[in-house]
Amino acid sequence: TIPQITFSATASGSFTYFNNFFLDYAGISMKEALQNGWLAVIQPEQYGAASKAWEHCIETLENCYMEFQLKRKSDGMYRWHLFRATAIINQAGEVTSWVGTATDIDEQKSKEQAKDEFISIASHELKTPITTAKAYVQLLEHNLQKDDHADLIFAEKASRSIDKLNHLVGKLLDVSRIQHGQMGYNVNPFDFNKMIRDAVESVQVIDETHSIEVKGSIKKTIKGDEERLNQVMVNLLTNAIKYSPGTDKVVVTLKQEKDMIAVSVKDDGTGISKKNLNKIFNRYFREEGNGSTVKGLGIGLSIAKEIITRHGGKIWAESEPGKGSTFHFTLPI
């Protein structure tokens, strides 16, 4: 009777049950549902990807988690659904069946799309006035420096504020580029150790409350987008400092293992609850109730994940509330 699609399947993935909610939604009989299941009413362009994802879960026994559109019989509309499925395993460690649900998230997706469109337009519109304001402030700084004017400090503070605003707009533009598949990468061989040093120096200039220690080094030249990977490091280091008030140290560890390199950034801060460790890389997600008063949009880690993934790597976090966090990422050399 619950207002969402539920189903079960055999260990090999053949459907064995669908609830009445799905039959009414799709306008099909139980016999038809058992033959093809939700694949019978999925948006045609998404069929291949959904089918492969389902087969992958059956082979690997990983929990299934994906989003796709299902056609509603009453109005012929394709609506977004969040699909989850879990393997049922007996005491002998054998899969006996699968159970799953598909929840309508169409309104949520529409709101996200509207928000993304607004952010994209607003970010582009902000770029020009920010650039103009920066130019005028730089001219003002230059004139005040020549006269050794006492008001120079105010111009310098205004300039730093504009830089912060420009950085924020840049991140918002990155979100827009990711959404539209337009985030560019300039891949070349580069010195990974130097990139790490540059990131540490740029963060230390802004914040002197913490010392950043770097352990280890990478002996081989790395191929990738140096600027984008620097962006990832700056984000991780900035977060480590922001979320560890009352402490004074952040540790960066570099390791090289055969054809992979591993990087970790460790702090002794507020930490992250276990239930949110996977969510922190979602766009706009911010953990509530961890005692932190740090403000932000919750987009830095989602951008970092996109950059690392596009480089063929992986990024994840380990944490315990009150005992700090360690963010890891790996990259192929």
Q: What is the DSSP string of 229-254?
A: HHHHHHHHHHHHHHT-TT--EEEEEE
Per-residue confidence (pLDDT) for residue 208, from 0 to 100 = 77
| pLDDT above 90: percentage of residues in the chain | 43
CB 256 within 8 A of CB 220: yes
**Strand ranges across the sheet with 95-104:** 15-18, 5-10, 95-104, 78-89, 64-71
Which of 107, 126, 112, 57 lies closest to 87 in space, CA to CA?
Answer: 57
Residue 292 pLDDT greater than 80, yes or no:
no
Confidence (pLDDT) at 209: 82
Query: If you average pLDDT over residues 266-272, what whole number do you get?
Result: 90
pLDDT at 321 over 80: yes
**pLDDT higher than 90, residue 262:** yes
pLDDT average, residue stretch 255-269: 92
d(CA 19, CA 80): 19
Instruction: Classify 2 as helix, strand or coil.
Output: coil
How many CB atoms are closer than 10 A to CB 236? 27
Residue 310: which pLDDT band, with cuts at 50, 70 and 90? Answer: confident
Q: What confidence score (pLDDT) does residue 3 get?
A: 87
Percent of the chain with pLDDT over 70: 92
pLDDT tens profile 83-108: 999 999 999 888 999 999 999 999 88
pLDDT category at 248 given cuts 50, 70, 90 is confident
Reply yes or no on whether the pLDDT at 24 is more than 90: yes
